[in-house]
């Protein structure tokens, strides 16, 4: 094997994989989630989740503003122990703060990366706020 490339589920479960690859002399690259600190060597390629979320939401808000509309938004929030979730949440929040006349956040749904928790939260939010017309996940 010439190398390993993968996207890790979280920062800690990947450390034994990195150790095994290091011991076998196989280069390893992790995509979009840095591993927890350890003495093992890997390369990580990470997207800027904050900027991606902010640019996406800013674009949507600008389109809505040009059309003369207003969105009532729901945001699904991942596991706040995960740097990707924090970046996406913060990018969303900073973008909507620039457009208070265009986007009103009426629901923030914690998911902790659980599909069941997300589905229940979305159902509850839509029941409580049927006017939601923008969902950021």
How far from 90 is each of 47, 97, 100, CA to CA, in Å?
15, 10, 16
pLDDT grade, residue 88 (50/70/90)?
very high
For the chain, domains (ranges, CATH) are: 4-45 (no CATH), 49-136 (3.40.50.2300)
pLDDT of amino acid 49:
94
User: Which is more confidently placed, 55 or 37?
Assistant: 55
From CA 137, how far away is CA 134, in angstroms rounded?
10
Residues ≥6 apart with Cβ < 8 Å to 117 = 110, 111
Its pTM stands at 0.80
Q: What is the dihedral of CA 23, 30, 80, 61, to 10 degrees?
A: 170
pLDDT grade, residue 81 (50/70/90)?
confident
pLDDT grade, residue 13 (50/70/90)?
confident
pLDDT of amino acid 76:
98
Residue 55 has pLDDT above 80, yes or no: yes
pLDDT of amino acid 70:
93
Average pLDDT over residues 83-88: 92
pLDDT grade, residue 96 (50/70/90)?
very high
Residues ≥6 apart with Cβ < 8 Å to 63 = none
């Amino acid at each position: 094997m010439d190398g390993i490339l993968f996207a890790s589920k979280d920062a800690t479960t990947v450390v034994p994989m990195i150790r095994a690859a290091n011991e076998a002399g196989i280069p390893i690259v992790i995509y979009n989630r840095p591993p927890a600190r350890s003495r093992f060597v890997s390369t990580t390629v990470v997207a800027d989740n904050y900027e991606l979320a902010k640019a996406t939401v800013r674009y949507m808000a600008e389109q809505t503003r040009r059309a003369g509309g207003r969105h009532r938004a729901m945001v699904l929030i991942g596991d706040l122990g995960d740097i990707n979730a924090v970046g996406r949440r913060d990018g969303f929040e900073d973008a909507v703060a620039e457009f208070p006349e265009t986007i009103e956040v009426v629901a923030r749904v914690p998911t902790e990366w659980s599909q069941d928790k997300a589905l229940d939260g979305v159902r509850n939010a839509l029941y409580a706020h049927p006017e939601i017309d923008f969902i950021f996940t």
